[in-house]
């Protein structure tokens, strides 16, 4: 018998992403979530809108939008281990390296380390040309309680 916990199936991760993508939160941003090959969280903004812009008074994506998408991506990394347990971001540290310009970008987040109740994760924002524009490290608290829906944090 193995002590290694089982990981969620790709079908479970796809369902979690589907529900979260349908939530008011991601719909508000016009974003969608996925878990490619069950190895990372991807939050994609396929069409930057005028209300996303305004960084430094320019047409760059506003840092508040980037911070929110970092929070979503880092906060959902525990799903890579268990899609049913509640979790919450408790710390984010961001570094903005270049303006995010263009009409689309995405966030990629992975688990770096952690135990049963605390995960350390990192993420990066990548623009349409494949350039890393921002980086983030975060800490996520994982609860023993299940999501109210039983499937994802998407409640709205």
Q: Does domain 10-146 have CATH number 1.10.10.10?
A: no
State the pLDDT at residue 13. Answer: 96
Residues 12, 18, 22, 28, Cα dihedral to 10°: 110
**CA–CA dist 77, 125 (Å, integer):** 15
Please report the sign of the dihedral spanned by the C-alpha atoms of residue 149, residue 84, residue 30, residue 69: positive
Please report the sign of the dihedral spanned by the C-alpha atoms of residue 144, residue 147, residue 150, residue 152: negative
Q: Which sequence spans correspond to the domains of the chain?
A: 10-146
Q: Which residues contact 115 (CB under 8 A, 6 or more apart)?
A: none
One digit per residue, pLDDT tens: the chain, 156 residues? 444 567 999 999 999 999 999 999 899 999 999 999 999 999 999 999 999 998 677 899 999 999 999 999 999 999 999 999 999 999 999 999 999 999 999 999 999 999 989 999 999 999 999 999 999 999 999 999 888 776 667 665
State the pLDDT at residue 155. Answer: 63
DSSP 72-134: HHHHTGGGGT-SSEEEEEEEEEEEE-S---SS-EEEEEEEEEE-SSEEEEEEEEEETTS-EEE
State the pLDDT at residue 156. Answer: 59
CB 96 within 8 Å of CB 59: no
State the pLDDT at residue 1. Answer: 40
State the pLDDT at residue 17. Answer: 95
pTM of structure: 0.91
SS3 content of the chain, % helix, strand, coil (to 5): 25, 40, 35
State the pLDDT at residue 58. Answer: 87
CB 41 within 8 Å of CB 35: yes
């Amino acid at each position: 018998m193995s002590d290694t916990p089982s990981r969620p199936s790709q079908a479970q991760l796809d369902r979690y992403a589907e529900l979260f993508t349908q939530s008011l939160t991601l719909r508000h941003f016009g974003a969608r979530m996925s878990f490619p090959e069950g190895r990372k969280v991807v939050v994609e903004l396929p069409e930057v809108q005028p209300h996303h812009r305004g960084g430094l008074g320019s047409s760059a994506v506003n840092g508040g939008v980037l911070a929110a998408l970092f929070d979503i991506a880092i906060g959902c990394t525990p799903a890579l281990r268990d899609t049913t347990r509640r979790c919450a971001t408790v710390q984010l540290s961001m570094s903005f390296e270049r303006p995010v310009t263009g009409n689309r970008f995405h966030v990629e987040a992975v688990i770096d380390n952690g135990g049963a109740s605390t995960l350390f994760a990192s993420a990066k924002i990548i623009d349409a040309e494949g350039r890393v524009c921002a980086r983030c490290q975060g800490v996520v608290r994982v609860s023993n309680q299940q999501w109210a829906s039983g499937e994802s944090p998407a409640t709205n």
